[in-house]
Amino acid sequence: MRRIWRLWPWWVGYAAGGFAALVVVLGVAGGEAFGWVGAVGGALGLAGLALRRGWVVWAGVVVLAFSTFGLLQDLVTVLGLGRPDNWPAFLTKAARVVTMLLLMGSALVVRRRAHGVCGRCGYEHADGGPVPLGFPEASTASRRVRWVAYAGAASFLPYAGAKVVFGLENRAVLAEHGGLMAELAVFGVDLTALLAALGIFLLVAMTRPWSQVWPRWVPGLAGRRVPRWLPLVPAWLGATLGPYGLLGVGYLLVFGTDALPGYVAQAGIVGFTGVGLAFAVVAWDYQRRTRPRCLTADGAAVPAR
């Protein structure tokens, strides 16, 4: 299995093409608006792969991103209730997300190979085989990125606090939903308040070295490398909150605060905008700082241009 993952630049294009074709078929067959958007994105991805044009593949990724609107809310529903509101719609949306990830990997490989560097790590080296990867030493984010993380966390605090109050005031209502949501309601805890607190912790943690190497206070894992996907997956999911917040800001500018009553909704607009944009910046910086390189036999490696 490890060897298969090491060979991802050789199979990611085929996998992306297969999923893109599936998304096109499902989008056309479904007939709903987001499905058609996903079909257009999948078609662009297929065209970019066929033409070996990375920018066309990225255009498909951007269009597909709009077709996954509401995914984070669906995941919260699955976590809280154990099921989504609509299984076919959820699985179709999940297929679009997988297609996006595969197309992003394919675009990266196309770009790197066009520059004559390794499609896997982006460095110039003699050995093109599936060799092990070497990871950089744990580092702290720059001061600018740290302040972005702090600002995003601060903007999300009012929403987290509002959801704590909401959970305490609506125990009976939350308990009627069942699942994890009902179990937390016994203690007056709203699931989204807990997730907001975890999001704030993750946002700040990704700027510190112990988000790359498990710290001493984690039993059994202290000193080991943290898998890159572990913080990056929730961080990029958190970044999808940004568009929600920006749409909410536009809504308030057009209709005013009277059109959106309630302290939770208003705090959510500010929090989603701030934390979503902060997650995008921090996740990109973390991805760049933790980028591995192939451990070649001769040790030669030159960064990609």
| Domain boundary, last residue among 114, 135, 166 | 114
- The answer to whether position 159 is within a domain reads yes
Beta bridge partners of 303: 123
Q: What is the pLDDT of residue 172?
A: 78
List, as one string, the DSSP characters of 227-256.
PTHHHHHHHHHHHTHHHHHHHHHHHHHHH-
- The answer to whether position 304 is within a domain reads no
- The answer to whether position 167 is within a domain reads yes
**Each residue's pLDDT tens digit in the chain (305 positions)?**
666 777 888 899 999 999 999 999 999 998 788 899 999 999 999 999 999 999 999 999 989 988 887 888 888 888 888 888 888 889 999 999 999 999 999 999 998 888 888 888 888 876 556 677 888 999 999 999 999 999 999 999 998 888 888 888 888 777 777 788 888 888 888 888 899 999 999 999 999 999 999 988 888 888 899 999 999 999 998 988 887 788 777 777 777 666 565 667 778 888 899 999 999 999 999 999 998 888 866 544 444 43
Q: For residue 208, with 0-12 CB atoms within 10 Å meaning exposed, 13-18 middle and 19 or more buried, which class applies?
A: middle
List, as one string, the DSSP characters of 194-210.
HHHHHHHHHHHHTTSGG
- The answer to whether position 137 is within a domain reads no
Residue 249 lies in domain: 143-289
Whether residues 94 and 157 fall in one domain: no
- The answer to whether position 192 is within a domain reads yes
Q: For residue 109, with 0-12 CB atoms within 10 Å meaning exposed, 13-18 middle and 19 or more buried, which class applies?
A: buried
- The answer to whether position 136 is within a domain reads no
Domains: count for the chain: 2
Q: What is the pLDDT of residue 305?
A: 39
Whether residues 60 and 184 fall in one domain: no
Q: Quick one: how far is CA 260 from the chain centroid?
A: 28
Whether residues 50 and 152 fall in one domain: no
| Domain boundary, last residue among 96, 114, 132 | 114
Whether residues 104 and 151 fall in one domain: no
Whether residues 96 and 158 fall in one domain: no
Provide the strand spans (E) within 32-169.
123-124, 133-134
Q: What is the pLDDT of residue 223?
A: 87
Question: Which H or E run includes 294?
Answer: strand 293-294
- The answer to whether position 131 is within a domain reads no
Whether residues 180 and 264 fall in one domain: yes
Whether residues 103 and 175 fall in one domain: no
What type of residue is 15?
A: A
Whether residues 208 and 152 fall in one domain: yes
- The answer to whether position 222 is within a domain reads yes
